[in-house]
Amino acid sequence: MSKQHLLITGVSGFLGSNLAYALKDRFDILGVYHAHPFAVSGVSTCQADLASPEDCQRIVREFKPDVCLHCAALADIDRCESAREEAYRSNVEATRFLTDALLGARCKLVHISTDAVYGGEEGDYSEETPPKPLNYYAHTKLLAESEAVRCPGSLIVRTAFFGWNLGPGKKPLSEWVLGELAAGKTIRGFTDVITSFLYMFDFSDLLLKALESDLVGIFNFASADSISKYAFARALARRFGYDEGLVVPASFDQFPLKARRSKNLSLDTSKLTRELGISLPTVGQGVERLFFDRPGRSG
């Protein structure tokens, strides 16, 4: 039987590259990059600007996707604050034009949104919690959701994730922490920034289950528990055999950044666990998988 066609936007990014790698044996994949050419063995890739309606129409017409994982975005929170036009273009207009192209194409759209659409004060947000974006990035991601829902049967995934970067982009948090610890450097870990982020390949496993169950609507994709960035960095140090004492506690308020941030982004995942009939991995279990999947591991 021929494989389903899977279109992955943002294939040169952190999430898109990992999903292409994780799903390449299950699907016939076309990955779209924009400014950074990228290849994954067993995956076709092409260049396109999704903020161009013509590019979106062409890709959908020629590739005829059954499923589209829309990972592309301008995801640099501080850059979104200063380059608002670019952020609007890449996050809102690109989603609008992609959705327009998919209308009538009988394709399942999975739109990757963010935990940052929630306010970040109380935490434990469910999909029913009214969003309260604190920065321009989150604002554009929320607008993008309202574009993606126009595609019948679309799934909107509010999430955050950690893992190994396969693409050309900058190192994600876990890799940066491990690099600093390996160099014997002291790092500050925020005790007041809470996340429920998921290990990347736990994310791809969940995504497959969500596709099998044809989930529709907004879902939080997150770990079963939540953790401060400080505790996370210490968990990484412990698991990878570095000195935990190199991670010192700090408050996020000591480091003013360009864009405001939501501090408590712990997510309630009961809707997802109920709909899929499964229990979700904890952050600690994700760290175990991160360790197991480390680059250069033998055996």
Ligand X SMILES: NC(=O)c1ccc[n+]([C@@H]2O[C@H](COP(=O)([O-])OP(=O)(O)OC[C@H]3O[C@@H](n4cnc5c(N)ncnc54)[C@H](OP(=O)(O)O)[C@@H]3O)[C@@H](O)[C@H]2O)c1
Task: List Cα–Cα distances, 184 to 99, 177, 180, 263, in angstroms.
Answer: 47, 11, 6, 28
Contact window for ligand X (CB under 6 A) among 6-14, 204-212, 240-248, 256-264: 6-14
The Cα 298–Cα 46 span in angstroms is 33
The answer to whether residue 49 forms part of the interface with ligand X (CB under 6 A) is yes
How would you label 114-148 residue by residue, b for 16+ Cβ within 10 Å and e otherwise?
A: bbbbbbbeebebebebebebbbbbbbbbbbbbebb
Helix (H, G, I), strand (E, B) or coil at 165: coil
Contact window for ligand X (CB under 6 A) among 49-57, 120-128, 233-241, 274-282: 49-57
Contact window for ligand X (CB under 6 A) among 14-22, 226-234, 237-245, 274-282: 14-22
The Cα 184–Cα 245 span in angstroms is 10
Task: List Cα–Cα distances, 185 to 164, 176, 191, 251, in angstroms.
Answer: 20, 11, 19, 19
Q: Name the β-bridge partners of 69.
A: 8, 110
Nearer to ligand X, 20 or 245 (CB): 20
Smallest Cα–Cα separation from 188: which of 228, 241, 240, 238? 228
The answer to whether residue 53 forms part of the interface with ligand X (CB under 6 A) is no
How many residues lie near ligand X (CB under 6 A)?
30
Longest dimension (CA), the chain: 57
The Cα 89–Cα 91 span in angstroms is 6
Tell which one of 6, 8, 10, 27 touches ligand X (CB under 6 A).
10
Contact window for ligand X (CB under 6 A) among 42-50, 56-64, 201-209, 224-232: 42-50
Q: Which two tokens stand for residue 116?
A: 């940052």
Tell which one of 72, 92, 102, 148 touches ligand X (CB under 6 A).
72
Smallest Cα–Cα separation from 272: which of 224, 201, 204? 224
Tell which one of 30, 67, 74, 98 touches ligand X (CB under 6 A).
74
The answer to whether residue 34 forms part of the interface with ligand X (CB under 6 A) is yes
Tell which one of 3, 36, 258, 294 touches ligand X (CB under 6 A).
36
Tell which one of 99, 114, 135, 226 touches ligand X (CB under 6 A).
114
| Minimal distance, residue 120 CB to ligand X, in Å | 13
Nearer to ligand X, 112 or 233 (CB): 112
The answer to whether residue 156 forms part of the interface with ligand X (CB under 6 A) is no
The answer to whether residue 223 forms part of the interface with ligand X (CB under 6 A) is no
Pattern 157-186, binding to ligand X, x per CB under 6 A? --xx--------x-----------------
DSSP state of 89: I
The Cα 102–Cα 108 span in angstroms is 9
Q: Which two tokens stand for residue 225?
A: 């528990």
The answer to whether residue 15 forms part of the interface with ligand X (CB under 6 A) is yes
Residues that bind ligand X (CB under 6 A): 9-10, 12-16, 32-36, 48-51, 71-75, 90, 94, 112, 114-115, 141, 159-160, 169
